[in-house]
Amino acid sequence: MLISLLFLPLASTGQVRAAEPILIGVPLPFSPPGSISQGNEAKAGLELAAEMLNEQGGILGREVKLVFEDTLGIPERGRAAVEKLITKEKVVAIAGGNHSSVCMAMVEVAHRYNVPFVNVNCWADAIREKGYAQVFNTAVFNSRLAMAGADFIKGLGLKNVVAFAENTDFGIGLAKNLETFLKEKAPAVNYRYNVLDREAKDFTPALLPLRQNRPEMVITILDPPAGYILINQLYELGIAPSRQTWLLDVDALAELPDFWDNVGEGGKYLLGVALFHPRMELTALGKTVRERHTKRTGREASRVVFQGFDALWVLADAIKRAGSTDAQAVITALEQSKLESTRGTIAFDRKPGATFHQWVEVPFAI
């Protein structure tokens, strides 16, 4: 009897440790100058995924717990956030990221510590081109949208196009990608792009010349709030959208819940990329996520909600198949993923370059 009593505390301690939650780090922007709306949308999707996983018994019988850190949309803050999540919070993986320049800094930390990193909403090809084994991407990538944009411009038969891009890896990268594909697909198009400070409040000096020399299309490549400000000022100056000039947003801003509150009349007749539209086909899982999100918030889900959900869902599936939270085992399992997500079947390409560890067939429409 005495022996049994002596061993009882040790057995009890072992049970507590086995039941410890699996910690997933989530670095996102929740404060300016970052895109707070996108940060909150991604958070909603991630939280819904964690909730549904825990309803099913968690991962490997352990509760899933998300640990959030605010990046403020600043690269150094993002770098520090991931460092803290890995070294102090002891997360087993990262599912997050918004603003490509921030992701560029964060993936360096994940690479150094060999921690799996699933990118929620960073589009720059440069992130993929690093070729880091730890980094996987369920969001769309710049080259895919640039190619679609070039095809769209060619189809309209346009000859004079101006783009405005934010001064980040995402903005400049997408503007350059579009230039490359237009030279290939529609070499007769006179295309030029201007780089704007994403923290600026007044873009009038850059826009006024367009009133004298009107292009056939203006393209906007800026995250909120700068993207909203630019669209409003283009409208207020009578430049676009107008009878003479199309306005094309390739940052999928119209999907965000605060778009119409911030843009209003300036958003009418705007053409835009849609990574989710209510009429787009969803999987059975996607329909469930959409319904639960709508019931909880009283509004439609945006693509960032689905992206956040999918990032954690594919990560959880990899941990389950790996049978542990060992980093290398999870990375290997992620490479072998073939999982039905909210928007299709996720599998990661292994070809070096812009599609490395990328879900290539991300659905979209213009």
**Per-residue pLDDT tens for 155-201?**
999 999 999 999 999 999 999 999 999 999 999 999 999 999 999 99
pLDDT tens track for 219-262: 999 999 999 999 999 999 999 999 999 999 999 999 899 999 99
pLDDT for the residue 11: 39
| Percent of the chain surpassing pLDDT 70 | 95
| Count of CA atoms in the C-beta half-sphere (13 A) of 271 | 16
- Extents of the domains making up the chain: 19-140+282-346, 143-272
- Mean of pLDDT values over 9-37: 76
- The pLDDT value recorded for residue 19 is 75
pLDDT of 3:
39
CATH 1.20.1050.10 given to domain 19-140+282-346: no
- Does 27 sit behind a cis peptide bond, omega within 30 degrees of 0 on the bond before it? no
Q: Is the pLDDT score of 16 beyond 90?
A: no
Report pLDDT for 320.
98
What is the pLDDT at residue 268?
93
Instruction: Say whether 143-272 and 19-140+282-346 share the same fold.
Output: yes
Residue 6 pLDDT > 60: no
* Mean pLDDT score across all residues of the chain: 93
Per-residue pLDDT tens digits for 32-87: 999 999 999 999 999 999 999 999 999 999 999 999 999 999 999 999 999 999 99
Mean pLDDT, residues 315-328 taken together: 98
Looking at residue 186, its pLDDT comes to: 96
pLDDT (tens digit, 9 = 90+) per residue, 75-121?
Answer: 999 999 999 999 999 999 999 999 999 999 999 999 999 999 999 99
Residue 154: C-alpha distances to residues 18, 149, 161, 217, 255 (Å): 58, 9, 11, 12, 25
- pLDDT tens-place string over residues 259-293: 999 999 999 999 998 899 888 999 999 999 999 99
pTM: 0.89
**What's the token pair of residue 142?**
């710049």
- Phi first, then psi: what are they for 205, rounded to 5°? -55, -35
Q: What is the pLDDT of residue 277?
A: 86
| Long-range CB pairs of 261-270, under 8 A, 24+ apart, other chains included | 262/224, 262/225, 262/228, 262/232, 263/228, 263/231, 263/232, 264/232, 265/235, 266/231, 266/232, 266/234, 266/235, 266/236, 267/231, 268/241, 269/241, 270/231, 270/241
**Architecture label for domain 143-272:** 3-Layer(aba) Sandwich (3.40)
What is the per-residue burial (b if ≥16 Cβ within 10 Å, else e) of 293-315? beeeeeeebbbbbbbbbbbbbbb
